[in-house]
Amino acid sequence: MQSRDTAKLDSTPPPVPVTHQSTAAVIMEQLAPAAEEPQIPQQTADLIDPQLTAASQDAQPQPSAEPVDTQHGAGLASQPPEEAGREHKKEPNKEHPVSKRVAVLEIVRAVKKHPRFKLSKHDIFKLFDVPERTGHRWIQEENTPKVPKKRGRPKKVRPEASIPPNHAPIGSLPLNTQCELETLNPQILSAMAQVQPASNNYIHGHHPSVLRSHIWRTAANSCAYLLPHLKPTDKILDIGCGPGTISVDLASRVPHGSVTGLDTSTAVLEQARQHAHEHRVPNVEFGLGDIFKLPYADDTFDIVHAHQVLQHVPAPVAALAEMRRVTRRGGLVAARESDMSACSWHPSPPRNGLARFIKTYLKIAESTGGAPTAGKLLHVWARDAGFAPESVASSAATWCFASPEDVQWWSGLWAERIVESEFRERALAAGVALEELERLAEAWREWGRSDAARFVVLHGEVLCRK
């Protein structure tokens, strides 16, 4: 979602589809016609995409702090001729692995500091064509404290040639001077908003094992906190509607109103329409939509609802702000999210299988930019999104699976989801071994075989009055 400042720029070029180019390359291509705009700082362009400044390096000599050697050329200090030759053999227009690593790490830091740009780590790795395992390894190495060197006589270090700007090593391009997004030209920020990747970091996909749990959800078991506030004429927007069971249930409770369900999957929306047709509920419709760019005018709906959505988006505060925008004055924004760190169960399978599952789930969700503990943060996010503290009502509720039928259903779908849904691919990308996933699936099956099994999922809820 574009910031308010950049959205006002009339000169922003029209959006173009994202290709396999880097984010910076697409931005620069969009900005090419705007010749009158200020040029991007040289070091910022070097950081984001070395290929963009290759040509300018030949025309504009780079200043160097190294002493000049008149025999072998400027900026090479006292290199032997053969080393200088090797240096000149490098082709500056080829992207250097170290430079790509610099760009990825600096943009990860910048987006973390400015979450409104809603780029997850997964999205950044994809845009720079970096394997997820490699990207996570870079971040882990960057965040690992360096062990102080042992005291002793320092080794002699051979003087090295000056490094071209587009081959700069880690640490030579500080965030506060090179890649902090606030320092970029407003035109660049506007263009960056146009090339944002999909805003959905949903780690489960729409595998049958996932949809079985979604189809089970109803207004009664998933948004009971909202039902007392419904009026027959309410116009409701249900974001992240999935197969439509909650949307259709809400529509049946507002006979003189309407419900619009939005999702990012065309296939699951077809299931939602079929579900509405089977239940003969005419006042509900479904369509594609992005929570960060809702295709509606301000003050359109009486109620805007999202269930288990904000934990899967990279910028939940921005999402809530957009939900608030399309809610009429006096209307409600309703959200319900689980807190996976607060799950409880009995009994515990051998080797703490379910405890290991929860730890693994948190790791995978966080690695993709999600917030698996969103349930306990909703009231804070609502205030940050612009709601007055006194207009936010916070509550909690649970799903409890304790009957033999519920236990078998819940354990079976998780055992299947871990090894067969998109969750498996996200887990492998986050560094979880396939053998460990198989052990976690078996832990769920083993828990389900107990005649005393019980599993509780805690949810946080907010009702925000605009």
| pLDDT tens digit sequence for 141-170 | 877 766 555 565 555 544 433 333 333 332
Residue 367's pLDDT is 85
Does the structure show a pLDDT above 80 at 413?
Answer: yes
CA end-to-end distance (rounded Å), the chain: 21
Task: Decide which of 316 and 200 is more confident.
Answer: 316
Mean pLDDT over each residue of the chain, to the nearest integer:
74
Query: Would you give the DSSP letter of residue 229?
Result: G
**What pLDDT is attached to residue 114?**
59
Query: What is the mean predicted confidence (pLDDT) over 20-44?
Result: 42
pLDDT for 120: 72
Longest C-alpha distance within the chain, in Å? 87
Higher pLDDT, 249 or 205: 249
- Nearest-angstrom CA–CA distance, 430 and 289: 28
Does the domain made of 208-465 have the CATH classification 3.20.20.70? no
Q: Could you tell me the pLDDT band of residue 34, with boundaries at 50, 70 and 90?
A: very low
pLDDT band for position 337 (cuts 50, 70, 90): very high
Q: Tell me if the bond preceding 282 is cis, omega within 30° of 0.
A: no
User: What mean pLDDT do residues 61-71 have?
Assistant: 43
Q: Lowest-pLDDT range, 207-221, 264-278, 280-294?
A: 207-221
Please tell me whether residue 290 adopts helix, strand or coil conformation: coil
Are 239 and 309 a contacting pair, CB within 8 Å? yes
Higher-confidence residue of 128 and 217: namely: 217
Question: What pLDDT sits at residue 334?
Answer: 98
∠ CA 458-463-466, rounded to 5°: 155
The per-residue pLDDT for 379 is: 96
CA angle 128, 58, 87 (to 5 degrees): 75
For the chain, percent of residues with pLDDT exceeding 90: 46
Q: What is the mean pLDDT of residues 183-210?
A: 52
Query: Is 266:241 a contact under the CB 8 Å cutoff?
Result: no
Residues 6+ apart with CB under 8 A from 88: none
Q: How far is 33 from 35, CA to CA, in rounded Å?
A: 6
What integer pLDDT is reported at residue 201 of this predicted model? 64
Q: Where are the alpha helices (DSSP H) in 385-466?
A: 404-420, 422-429, 434-448
Instruction: Give 236's strand partners.
Output: 259, 303
pLDDT at residue 110, rounded to an integer = 73
pTM for the model stands at 0.60
pLDDT grade for 61, boundaries at 50, 70 and 90: very low
Q: Are 119 and 314 in contact (CB under 8 A)?
A: yes
10 Å CB burial of residue 143 (0-12, 13-18, 19+) is: exposed
CA triple 417-421-427, angle to 5 deg: 90
The SS3 of residue 10 is: coil
Going by the DSSP 8-state scheme, the letter that residue 349 receives in this structure is P
pLDDT in tens, 434-446: 999 999 999 999 9
Strongest mean pLDDT among 18-22, 111-115, 274-278: 274-278
Question: In 98-202, where do the E strands start and end?
Answer: none
Tokens for 304, please give them.
């805007």
